[in-house]
Amino acid sequence: MAGREEQHVRVAVIGSGFGGLGAAVRLRRQGITDFVVLERADSVGGTWRDNSYPGCACDVPSHLYSFSFAPNPEWPRNFSGQPHIRAYLERVTDIFGLRPHIRFRSEVRHLRWNGDALHWEIETANGGLTADVVVSATGPLSDPKVPDIPGLDSFPGKVFHSARWDHEYELRGKRVAMIGTGASAIQIVPAIQPEVERLTLFQRTAPWVLPRADRRISAVEKWLHTKVPATRAARRQLLWGIRELQVSAFTKRPDQLGLIEFLAGNHMKKAIKDPALRAALTPDYRIGCKRILLSNTYYPALARPNVDLVTSGLQEVRGNTLIGADGSEVEADAIVFGTGFHVTDMPIAQRVTGAKGTTLAEEWKDGMASLRGASAAGFPNFLTLIGPNTGLGNSSMILMIEAQLNYLADYLRQLDLLGGKTALSARPEAVEDWNRMVQERMKRTVWNTGGCDSWYLDANGRNTTAWPGTTGEFKRLTRQVDLAEYEVLRPKTGTAAGPVGTSADARAEVAA
Ligand code: NAP
């Protein structure tokens, strides 16, 4: 098909959030211009485009939560808000000349590996194309999760998810039910509490909340960061270093986290004077087991007279009445779900069909697993950014994304060195070895031992999301592709392409 031929690219990147844009910059820096970024929406930004709820901000300091190759001396605050982060990503898109590569309104409907042609066939909402390599940068926070609540369909009021905020809907004077107490909900609660008539918070599990050391970044600091870039770099290094030092408490010695629990408990007690409310807000698991939340305004908002706390999940909806799992009944005009995302069951996995004719979701039915967070067995030349076990509890995901971009860059270099039409397919035993190591280390972490249920764990209770080490270690382990962990695929003369060379063969060819 001539049309198909014209639409072949070397690399197709899915998504234009931090991961997808980072990949695009990296490809260009690598001298690769034959690539597209497929984006389902009509602007860039990923989760920072979709999450525009009141109070939305990042709880990682901006000088760390940004690309090392695109520093921003102008960050307005320690913890910048969503509009600034989204604007930053728009600027990155322009400064690095990425727009010509981006195809908006091109949701990927299906990807299929063609083992004869050694390329991916991609069907999008905006036509088809083929690509040698696919980089999936859809992220873990892209598809909202709304629990299946009996009666919700017949609720006569307004319903929306935190990541799909309806700015047209006037909350003022309404009785609003907020479902969930995760990172999103605790930012929404203080932002909407002053305007709603009644706010009822459905808390299934109490979160640990620490003070948020937020402040405006002064004009002098900004000037210094612009004129003396070393000050900006030093600031980033310091923020990074502090977080690296904290890692061992999360991954090896959760007993050391007692002091942090004490600080969080005091933080709560300062704002909450009612002993019954204090008791209801006190978590019953080790701090860090779920993501630690940062807020100076959450507890004071809960102490306001127009706020009620229901200490159970939402179980049923009957007309305007919301029924908690503890039997409590509340009337509401609007329900806001802060119930998180499809993290361990990434929807893109259902749309990717690999070398065996099975989907990634089928291959991952017992849990996600990839080599070095990037390559799943049976899915040649398909790399995931923020793939399995690359998540962090206490630092910046941008560091992990950049480590994975190093891996992507080396992957493409290796393909070049191998020459001709080639693909790399992660060896199942290499994927197993990597995951055995990860799961072995996971046993000691606070996420597995802290006595909570969290989105780090999948339906089988396996932690397939978090990285049980420092970002520095992950960076070292993903600096280069080890060809011994891959099978090199080349087209067979005749029809079917199959695994014709081992990595040893490939190295011999390179040496020759
Ligand atoms: P989340 O952390 O997954 O929290 C979901 C919440 O919904 C939990 O409190 C959960 O309770 C609750 N829930 C689920 N079903 C419920 C039901 N039927 N009734 C009552 N509660 C229910 O989701 P999120 O807050 O959107 O955050 C997702 C991730 O986004 C975060 O962990 C973080 O990585 C990121 N995020 C980051 C920032 C930032 O500042 N950087 C801000 C927002 C979000 P249980 O705890 O009992 O499961």
DSSP string, 307-342: EEEE-S-EEEEETTEEEETTS-EEE-SEEEE---B-
Q: What is the pLDDT of residues 461-493, one digit of tens each?
A: 899 999 999 999 999 999 999 999 999 999 876
Residues 83 and 187 in one domain: no
> Is 391 touching ligand 1 by the criterion CB < 6 Å?
no
Nearest protein CA to atom 19 of ligand 1, as residue = 313
> Is 351 touching ligand 1 by the criterion CB < 6 Å?
no
Question: What is the per-residue burial (b if ≥16 Cβ within 10 Å, else e) of 110-122?
Answer: ebbbebeebbbbb
Select from 312, 337, 362 the last residue of a domain: 337
> What is the bridge-based pairing of β-strands 307-310 and 293-294?
unpaired
CATH of the domain at 101: 3.50.50.60
- 185 with 162: CB under 8 angstroms? yes
Residues 376 and 503 in one domain: yes
Nearest protein CA to atom 41 of ligand 1, as residue = 58
- For residue 496, report the distance from its CA to the centre of ligand 1, in Å: 47
Identify the CA nearest to 423 among candidates 477, 349, 497: 497
**What tokens appear for 154 in the block?**
């017949």
Note the pLDDT of residue 503.
39
- For residue 339, report the distance from its CA to the centre of ligand 1, in Å: 5
- Count the Cβ atoms, other than its own, within 10 Å of residue 473: 14
Say how far apart CA 403 and CA 474 lie, in whole Å: 7
| Residue-number span of the structural domain to which 272 is assigned | 152-213+240-337
> Is 340 touching ligand 1 by the criterion CB < 6 Å?
yes
Note the pLDDT of residue 6.
57
> Is 185 touching ligand 1 by the criterion CB < 6 Å?
yes
Residues 359 and 313 in one domain: no
**What tokens appear for 322 in the block?**
């919301």
> Is 59 touching ligand 1 by the criterion CB < 6 Å?
yes
Residues 329 and 459 in one domain: no
Query: Does the residue 433 lie in any domain?
Result: yes
- 196 with 174: CB under 8 angstroms? yes
Q: What is the pLDDT of residues 26-78, one digit of tens each?
A: 999 999 999 999 999 999 999 999 999 999 999 999 999 999 999 999 999 99
Ligand 1 pocket: which of 143, 392, 455 to mutate (most atoms within 8 A of CB): 455
Identify the CA nearest to 187 among candidates 60, 298, 79: 298
Residues 287 and 325 in one domain: yes
DSSP string, 275-298: HHHHHHHS-SS-TTSSPPEE-SSH
Residues 386 and 368 in one domain: yes
Q: Which atom of ligand 1 is nearest to the CA of 339?
A: 7
Q: Which atom of ligand 1 is nearest to the CA of 186?
A: 25
- For residue 44, report the distance from its CA to the centre of ligand 1, in Å: 24
Q: What is the pLDDT of residues 421-450, one digit of tens each?
A: 999 999 999 999 999 999 999 999 999 999
Residue 345: which pLDDT band, with cuts at 50, 70 and 90?
Answer: confident
Say how far apart CA 313 and CA 201 lie, in whole Å: 9
- For residue 455, report the distance from its CA to the centre of ligand 1, in Å: 8
> Is 455 touching ligand 1 by the criterion CB < 6 Å?
yes
> Is 147 touching ligand 1 by the criterion CB < 6 Å?
yes
Query: Does the residue 228 lie in any domain?
Result: no
Polymer length in residues for the chain: 512
Q: What is the pLDDT of residues 262-321, one digit of tens each?
A: 999 999 999 999 999 999 999 999 999 999 999 999 999 999 999 999 999 999 999 999
Residue 393: which pLDDT band, with cuts at 50, 70 and 90?
Answer: confident
Residues 326 and 180 in one domain: yes
Residues 136 and 172 in one domain: no
Residues 260 and 325 in one domain: yes
Regarding pTM above 0.85, the answer is yes
Nearest protein CA to atom 15 of ligand 1, as residue = 339
Q: Which atom of ligand 1 is nearest to the CA of 149?
A: 18
Select from 306, 337, 368 the last residue of a domain: 337
- For residue 338, report the distance from its CA to the centre of ligand 1, in Å: 6
- For residue 252, report the distance from its CA to the centre of ligand 1, in Å: 25
Phi, psi (5° rounding) for residue 100? -60, -20
> Is 335 touching ligand 1 by the criterion CB < 6 Å?
no
Distance of CA 455 to the CA centre of its chain: 11
Identify the CA nearest to 20 among candidates 434, 386, 361, 269: 386
> Is 178 touching ligand 1 by the criterion CB < 6 Å?
no
